[in-house]
Amino acid sequence: MPKFAANLSLMFNELGFLERFAAARTAGFDAVEFLFPYACEPEQILGRLQRYKLQLALHNFPAGDWAAGERGFACDPRRMQEFQDSVELGLDYAVELGVPRLHCMAGKLPPNVAPERAHATFVTNLRFAAEAAARHGIEVLIEPINDRDIPGYFLTHSSQAAGIIAECGMDNLFLQYDIYHMQRMEGELALTLRERMAIIRHIQLADVPGRHEPGTGEINFPFLFKLLDELGYDGWVGCEYIPQGETVAGLAWRDAFIA
């Protein structure tokens, strides 16, 4: 049976961010993840993780001005120093919070930058981030994201991510596989999971269309959950979906889909 982590950036949004930790524990989650911790002091988050006996599965490196539409900048050759500074901040939080892995968002292809140059920049930045993270025993993940939700996003396919991981040659650089994004971009989820499982360290889910709970769309989640068991995946599956209504009411899928 997969282990599910509540994504506190999307779930329990009836509550303030720091109140969501208690709600996740009450709803039966043993782990949480979120996009960014940087609006809080580390001790605020750590205190809630400890109080409610929750593991922190994942968070992201800083990704620029989110409110202004930035979605990372690791592929931007004009912001490499800024990226290195963001790695330092991300690792400061990660070490204090005890998180085992960080997601590095590639960002959108910058204007007037050739894809080849963006690719080279991304590889250089990932090597820097992975080397810095390795000193703390932390893994770095990259995630292909669909270019319908984020037009212009640089990293969009699992094959592209696998190639970049191989090119970087870092022992602690892996794939974050989001079922929702890959259904929109590629389909053939089972085949791809089988092919990429050796480099996958974190999985996320949401149904298609709408990015809501499992069971609200077209994806056969009971089949995929059994497949993950068959493949021996023992990591967390992050519930990175937008609840259609009240979060707890929408959790009925866990009992319905898991034997």
Q: Pairing state of beta strands 200-205 and 139-142?
A: unpaired
Q: Angle 225-229-235 (CA atoms, 0-180°, nearest 5)? A: 90
What is the enclosing helix (H) or strand (E) of 92?
A: helix 80-97
User: Which of 171, 176, 163 is closest to 233 using CA atoms?
Assistant: 176
Task: Report residue 77 as tokens.
Answer: 């050759």
Among the options 143, 167, 186, 213, which is catalytic?
143
Region of residue 175 (phi > 0: left; psi between -120 and 50: alpha; otherwise: beta): beta
Q: What is the SS3 assignment for 58? A: strand
**To which residue do tokens 């809630």 refer?**
48
Q: Does residue 240 have an active-site annotation?
A: yes
User: Which of 210, 237, 232, 235 is closest to 221 using CA atoms?
Assistant: 237
How far apart (Å, rounded) are the C-alpha atoms in residues 213 and 206? 6
Q: From the centroid of its chain, how far is CA 11?
A: 14
Among the options 33, 139, 213, 240, which is catalytic?
240
**To which residue do tokens 């590639």 refer?**
106
Q: Angle 11-14-15 (CA atoms, 0-180°, nearest 5)? A: 90
Q: Does residue 88 have an active-site annotation?
A: no
> Which residue numbers are catalytic?
143, 240
